[in-house]
Structure 1
Amino acid sequence: MKITVLLASHRSKKNTAQTAEYFLEHLKDGNEIEYVNLLNKKIEICLACDYCRTHYGHCILKDDMESVIQTFHQSDLIILATPLYFNSVTSRFKIFIDRTQILYNAKYKLKDPIFKEKKKVVVIANAGAPHYPGQFEGIMVELKHFFWNINADVIGYYKYNDTDEVMIKDNEAARLELANAGAQIANLQF
């Protein structure tokens, strides 16, 4: 199975990367895992120029976006890992989502979706703040149309709060839950 992990944090090797690693614990053997760290990708903001309305699957901007979309397209499982910033995904992730306008136009304007086959997706999110009602709702609201564009079947959503106080690496219950969730997905047939 080919697994792509999108890391959307503005910081390297902190809670977001750690949550992904614990989730992948039982998925590493026998699977190909590719990491896409938005910190290391050049992805410009969408110009809303409508170039992708007439150029199937292509953007006028020539940066790393199309290669990331291609990586997603070739994946059997996509893991989206993001910290919670102001009740939503990070700004880097939002820019990435905006740039999937090429997928929207292929699917709805040109009537030929790029993602024809269902993509299995897992969302992992962490928040520094303690729990409060509705804390993680903004993430799924932000991702809703993105999921339609990649023909996603969301098979897991794992959320952890208060990580400023107790980092994921120090949260035994979270580590165990993530590892068990990854093990369950490892047993699914893709």
Structure 2
Amino acid sequence: MKPQIIALLGSPIDDGNTARLLSEAIKGAEDAGCSVIKVDVTKLKFSPCMEHFYCEQNDDCMIKDDVSPLLKRFRKVDGLIIASPVMTMGFPGAIKSFMDRFQVFFMAKYVRKDPLVTKEMKKWRKALLISIGGMNVPYDFDGVRLSMRAFCDITDFEYWEDVLQNDMDSIIDITKKPDKIKEAYTKSHEMCRIIAEDKKKYSDEVKAE
């Protein structure tokens, strides 16, 4: 079976700069032999985490909405791509609220000591962050990087790499940065190639035992 990748779009603009970079990343993943499920997070109907603490004792969320099936799917996917703009120095509201719903994974891993991701899958699960920022400042991506690392930690993905472009208030159109578009394709392709290779290697080792 092909490695499964989830690609999350955190921008509401379907044909915007963030979406264009994600589209290239998806091409890279598919060309590397992976199957990609794209999720437009801003189109989902869901509630933010309401701190019911149901997940403290259960491996599911008490709230049932569009996030519910994705919480289950995240247990089995092999790779993750998150593409989002920077807003107020962090992830914008929809995708941040989406990430916060993964307390289900946090509680399982750190409270009950019973992670929802197997030890075997941790050997190849990797994640790529794609982000654009309007300002031309060196700290533009500090917030999204910290949140991405925290999210990867609780969901057991290795934060493998990122593709970042600031100063978009001046650049306006990402097509003016063909090297950045190529980088989104190349890094995604390489990450997914490694995932496929590592997953096959582990599978072959198990068969040989």
- TM-score, L = length of structure 1: 0.90
2:38 is paired with a residue of what secondary structure? strand
How far 1:122 sits from its partner (Å)? 0.6
Counterpart position of 2:82: 80
Counterpart position of 1:53: 56
2:74 is paired with a residue of what secondary structure? helix
Counterpart position of 1:103: 105
How far 1:179 sits from its partner (Å)? 2.4
How far 1:7 sits from its partner (Å)? 0.8
How far 1:186 sits from its partner (Å)? 4.2
Q: Write out the 4+ residue segments of structure 1 that deviate beyond 6 Å after TM superposition.
A: none
Counterpart position of 1:11: 13
Match of 1:41 among 40, 44, 69: 44
Structure 2 runs not aligned, ≥5 long: 199-209
Higher helix share: 2
Cα pair distance change 1:133/1:26, threshold 3 Å: closer
Counterpart position of 2:188: 182
Pairwise CA RMSD: 1.7
Counterpart position of 2:127: 121
CA offsets 1:128-185 (integer angstroms, 9 cap, x no match): 23x2121100112223322221112111111011234332233212112222223323
Counterpart position of 2:201: none
Structure 1 runs not aligned, ≥5 long: none
Aligned pairs, number: 188
Q: Is 26-35 or 46-55 further displaced after alignment? A: 26-35
Cα pair distance change 1:26/1:51, threshold 3 Å: closer
Counterpart position of 2:175: 169
How far 1:47 sits from its partner (Å)? 1.0
Match of 2:94 among 88, 92, 95: 92
- Are 2:163 and 1:158 aligned? yes
- TM-score, L = length of structure 2: 0.83
How far 1:100 sits from its partner (Å)? 0.9
The one-letter code sitting in structure 2 at the alignment partner of 1:17 is A
